[in-house]
A and B are shown apart, each in its own frame.
Chain A
Amino acid sequence: MNAYLGIDVGSISTKGVIIDNENHILASSYIWTQGNPMEAVKTLIHNLEKQIDKKKVHIIGVGTTGSARKLIGTMLNANIIKNEITAHAIGTLSLYPDVKTIFEIGGQDSKIILIEDGIVVDYAMNTLCAAGTGAFLSSQASRLGVKVEDFGRIALTSKKPTKIAARCTVFAESDLVHKAQMGYQKEDIIAGLCKSVVSNYLNNVGKGKKIKAPIIFQGGVSKNIGVKKAFEEEVGCEVIVDPNGHLMGALGVAILAKNSPIKTNFQFSITDNNFETKGIECNKCSNHCEIICVSRNKKLIDAWGNRCSNGDIMNR
């Protein structure tokens, strides 16, 4: 049986799926990136390998997405490397063909994708600022001495969410400290935080966008039921969270790999190779391009980051 591998390497977590020709998920894995995308992907591939019967399943397409897509794509010799916006849209559309709006809040980014008749018509991504993303929530959770996984559950117990300044992470944080010192209940503050994430999102990436149902909410933060509830209150309709919501990017890029005319022969043993990256600074002019070199078993396989022919390492 032919199968396709899709990997989504984000800032916080690394996600992978293997799908068959009908887009059914045969195997999936979700682990922390921990600042080392290459090691994370190796572990991920081991996890996926255990879930399938290698004698029957042959992987003939590999796709990568997420912020480390290029690095991992080079490492795995992927036949498609796609941005996360397109990947998420394709993945979600395969499960919910009539979706109109996708909310996505990840570790460090948040995006909104608007869809009409199965086609992406508009999107936006947060710029310059990580306010209201997963990283913010988890840092506040540790400040309050709560596990981020319990955040949503605690938020639901609140009857009167505290108002927290939502415009900016720094303001939100000092406001949160202030409210805690004033004596507000912890669950009210947590519920207020969930609300502030939502209003920040709608005022930032969602600004000026026409949000229509059905709405799908995904990304790591979608696992937080408190944020989901706050979204529903704010937009006034049901917000769907898929149990596989965190895998949508990986699923989307696996589908793109399936549709791509190029095929590869992927072997799980690729993880036995020794991959190394090295950042070097080109000193040929005052631009000082930072060039990233990727090598497999000490052999240079790709390099990028240079802006002119002076730094062209590959052809030397």
Chain B
Amino acid sequence: MKEERIISFPHLGDYYIPIKFLLNKITKLKVMESPPITKKTIDLGSKYSPDFVCIPFKYNLGNFIETLEKGANILIQAGGGCRYGYYSEVQEQILKDLGYHFEFYTLVDKDKITPKSLYHTFKKIDKKIPLWKMIYYLPLTILMIRYMDNIDDFIRKNIGFEVEKNSFSNLKKEMLDSYTKCKGFLSLTKRYFHYKKAFKNLKVEKPENCLKVGIIGELYTSMEPFSSYFLEKELASMNIEIKRFTNVSYLLYQKRLQRRKNLRYIEKYCKYTIGADGMDNIYRAKYLIDEGYDGIIHIKPFGCTPEIGAIPIIQKVCQDGKMPIIYFSFDSQTSETGIKTRLEAFYDMLTIKKG
């Protein structure tokens, strides 16, 4: 008897929902998301990773091991413009050395991802994927991601001021559940507008001059709350409005469209892109200053080279703009108390400064 093929992928915030949706719609394979990230995930990941590799690698590897244990036998991994570009090869080798049997596919090949290359990769996974399904469901999934990100932006602005505890996160859970059941563009858009209204109707008590903080930095620690020790949740509990730029919509298309405009904006500080999101973060620091935000939090995995390159420039931008900024580096051994102490002090500093 032939073994059932089960496809799985690593976690990144809530994005497992659209990915699972897409895979379910276009392939006939059984789709299984990795078990939720816990301390066990990162322990497993760190155990089998090179010690000095950046932290997303360890999380991804932990996800893979846990999902392989549950029976998955096809794994997919993305890739990107920094060390991320080597993740898949190294992870595949580590997992093979551990004795697992699986197929491994990389979505971003040679630093590029296009609908066409994506279709070819999927074709390798499952020969029976019809082209029309790809043409229909890929844009639908991208739209779903866009809608999720839009709502997330709204949530970050307001969740710190919710009147009823957990009202935002409960409604979000309900919304994501409903998204998975949608059939086409019309039903997705209907759901989006329904929930957009529902979110606007949630009660908030937001003072006029609340603290506003921007989060910039590396993409994985920005998007996977577990890896930043739930930084955004912590900020929200201090009644702070949060602005975060990095999300999947940004990485998929906005980044490309904005590159030239952003470079012109920070001409004085930086004249060319410096790898991954380095240049984008310099732009964001300047943008946050010009928009009158109260502080910036820069996060990255320990040893993230593009961000290390960007930090001195960001520091200069912030000194010129008299903007308070703190930096966090996350690793598997980061002390949570240390983060809390620094955040608290940052909060005190911003409040006293604001008067």
Contact = CB atoms under 8 A, between A and B. Distances in A.
B348 A286 contact: no
Interface string B25-39: 000000000010011
Given A67-B337, A121-B353, A127-B329, A86 B348 contact: yes
Contacts of A128: 302, 329, 331, 333-334
B146 to A, nearest CB: 30
A285 B40 CA distance: 10
Interface string A277-316: 0000000011111000000000000000000000000000
A285 B315 contact: no
Contact of B39 (A83, A123, A286): A286
Contact of A83 (B40, B302, B348, B353): B348
A288 B40 contact: yes
Interface in B289-308: 302
A119 interface: yes
A154 interface: no
Interface string B152-171: 00000000000000000000
A112 to B, nearest CB: 12
B349 A287 contact: no
A123 B337 CA distance: 17
A208 interface: yes
Q: How large is the interface on B (under 10, 10 to 19, 20 to 34, 35 or more residues)?
A: 20 to 34
B93 interface: no
Interface of B is mostly: helix
Given A83-B348, A86-B345, A122 B40 contact: no
Contacts of A67: 337, 341
B352 A83 contact: no
Contacts of A120: 345, 348-349, 352-353
A286 B35 CA distance: 10
Given A120-B349, A127-B338, A287 B324 contact: no
A208 B315 contact: yes
A125 interface: yes
A84 interface: yes
Given A120-B349, A123-B345, A285 B38 contact: yes
Contacts of B331: 128
B315 A119 contact: no
Nearest to A127: B329
Contacts of B302: 128
Interface string B304-336: 000000001001000100101000010101100
A287 B344 contact: no
A85 interface: yes
B321 to A, nearest CB: 13
Nearest to A118: B352
Q: How large is the interface on A (under 10, 10 to 19, 20 to 34, 35 or more residues)?
A: 20 to 34
A86 B341 CA distance: 10
Nearest to B40: A286
Interface string A123-137: 101011000000000
A84 B338 CA distance: 11
A84 B337 CA distance: 12
Given A208-B312, A287-B38, A125 B342 contact: yes
Nearest to A208: B315
Nearest to A125: B342
A67 B335 CA distance: 12
Nearest to B230: A307
Given A83-B344, A286-B38, A287-B39, A123 B349 contact: yes
Contacts of A210: 319
B343 to A, nearest CB: 9
A83 B349 contact: no
Nearest to B333: A128
A82 to B, nearest CB: 8
Contacts of B322: 121
A83 B344 CA distance: 7
A82 B344 CA distance: 8
Interface in A146-166: none
Interface string B238-254: 00000000000000000
Nearest to B342: A125
A85 B345 CA distance: 6
A245 to B, nearest CB: 19
A59 B246 CA distance: 50
Interface of B: 35, 38-41, 302, 312, 315, 319, 322, 324, 329, 331, 333-334, 337-338, 340-342, 344-345, 348-349, 352-353
Interface of A: 67, 82-86, 119-123, 125, 127-128, 208, 210, 285-289
8 contacts: A67-B337, A86-B344, A120-B348, A120-B352, A121-B349, A127-B329, A127-B338, A286-B35
Given A125-B341, A128-B334, A286-B35, 12 more contacts: A67-B341, A82-B348, A119-B353, A120-B352, A121-B324, A125-B338, A128-B302, A128-B329, A128-B331, A208-B315, A285-B38, A286-B38
